[in-house]
Structure 1
Amino acid sequence: MRFRLAIIVALALLAALAAACGGASSFGPVEENLHQEVGVLTYDEAVDRWGPPTSLSHGDKLFTAYWIKERSGGIVKERLYLTFDNEKKILRAYRYTSKPFE
């Protein structure tokens, strides 16, 4: 009886995790759209879209803005790194990750 209950609880937890990971991103359809916006999206447009970044890292020619958002009650953390050139503040590269239980 305990074994059966343990299996049911484990399956319920797996189903909840799958539902949490499969939900919509807090950043919107990032991975689908950002590759089209390299060389086009400005830093100001990114701030308008996702709010002020969590942090900024400045280099000689480029800077990276970093956003972190939580979804599914904090189970999933999403990270968005956008790298812009210092001169025109145009998107040059991006990285997006979404991981549960971090």
Structure 2
Amino acid sequence: MNRFWTIVLDPRVLVVIGLAALAAFLFIGADVLAVAGFWAALGLALILLVWLIVWVVKRVRAKRAAKALEQAIDQQGALGLPALKTRLSWPCCASACKRRSRR
């Protein structure tokens, strides 16, 4: 039973169920209000188009972020370990580090 709920509550399955319910309500509403099914289909297509645009924008942003992360990692690798240690030494800790090294 746990596996069933895991599958049903997966976000992708919920999206499909939600879109199917929305389509059903649009077409039932169009039938009750005597509006052409064309307008219900057009509304559903518009919602799907907006969803597709949001999905594409998220993908583009994720690719840009991944590229920026890759460049940052490459820059750190090019600096080498000694340069990285000097860049990570904080001014607030510098005096404490000097006192420890004198002991």
Answer yes or no: same fold by TM over 0.5: no
**Structure with the higher helix share, 1 or 2:** 2
Larger Rg: 2
Larger RCO of the pair (alpha carbons < 8 Å, separation 6+): 1
Structure-1-length-normalised TM-score? 0.33
**Structure with the higher strand share, 1 or 2:** 1
